[in-house]
Chain A
Amino acid sequence: MDTTPVVTPRPPGPSQPGRSLHRFANPGRFLRISGVALPWVAIIGAVLTAIGFGAGLFLAPADWQQGDAVRMMYVHVPSAWLASGGYFGLAVCSLLSLVWRHPLADLAAAEISTVGAGFTALCLASGSIWGKPMWGAWWVWDARLTSVLVLFFLYLGHVALVRAFDDPTRGYRAGAILALIGVVNLPIIKFSVDWWNTLHQPASIGLTGAPTMHIDMFWPLAVAGFGYIFIFAAIVLTRTRSAVMERRIRGLLSARAERQT
């Protein structure tokens, strides 16, 4: 009697997002594609950041109120964009991990939180240095500053939580839940300058309207911002590639140990 299982092809139907996402979850394919893209992402990031910082220092005009102190904006604002944007990326990876069990999302989330914490610390430090000559204080318990400090602690909490369990899967799951809960802080950061009276100035750049700053100040900021985005992506890609390879190494070593026992 023939016991070969009959394989019925899946009938054509609407595409499933989880299925198409898993096409990009193959570690070998990820390593191949990211290996090609990574040098370009890193070079574009370095060049754009150098142009943005150089223009911010030497070409952009001084502010009529702040003088040359406004040049600190070309570091502070891109790092602030990355602090919030990185956390949004962390939340997306957490969602992919919890809902679709995307195997690379856990690794990417762990790497994003480490890098995001550094860029948030940079945002806080550069803001503090900018605040001293402008406000007369290194720190004030202002709504914007406090909510970004909470974001920094959320990043640190995620970093600690994913490493707190013997079983990495449980750590990734707990970290993903924390990351999704922490998303509520992003609109608080964004609108804190509108909802409360703060020392921090309101947004000069929005998604729906023209920027309220002069074009000679805006373009170096935009270039530095895109440069930082590419650098952040390059660092996260490199770290995620390393994490994929390290997982493979652990699997090979444990398989070898099982064969020997």
Chain B
Amino acid sequence: MTHLPYIIAVYALGVLVPAAYSIDAWLRSRRATRRLAAIDTRRQK
């Protein structure tokens, strides 16, 4: 395969950028869900 280092770099970015956003979004959502559950009395009823 020609230009292999360039291809690897592009595909690595193509996987890492969405993966980093996904993990960050998931962690933030989990934090918000737990925090809301802890203080929202309507949910505890």
Contacts and interface: CB of A to CB of B under 8 A. Distances in A.
Interface residues of B, number: 27
Nearest to B7: A71
A124 B18 CA distance: 15
Main secondary structure of the interface of A (DSSP, over half): helix
A79 interface: yes
Given A75-B11, A126-B14, A248-B36, A234 B22 contact: yes
B28 A242 contact: yes
Interface string B5-23: 0110111011101100110
A68 B2 contact: yes
A80 B26 CA distance: 24
A176 B8 CA distance: 38
A42 B22 CA distance: 9
Contacts of A246: 32
A252 B40 CA distance: 7
A241 interface: yes
Interface of B: 1-4, 6-7, 9-11, 13-15, 17-18, 21-22, 25-26, 28-29, 31-33, 35-36, 39-40
Given A115-B21, A242-B32, A248-B36, 4 more contacts: A130-B10, A231-B18, A245-B35, A249-B35
Interface of A: 42, 49, 53, 57, 62, 67-69, 71-72, 75-76, 79, 115, 118-119, 121-122, 125-126, 129-130, 132-133, 228, 231-232, 234-235, 238-239, 241-242, 245-246, 248-249, 252-253, 256
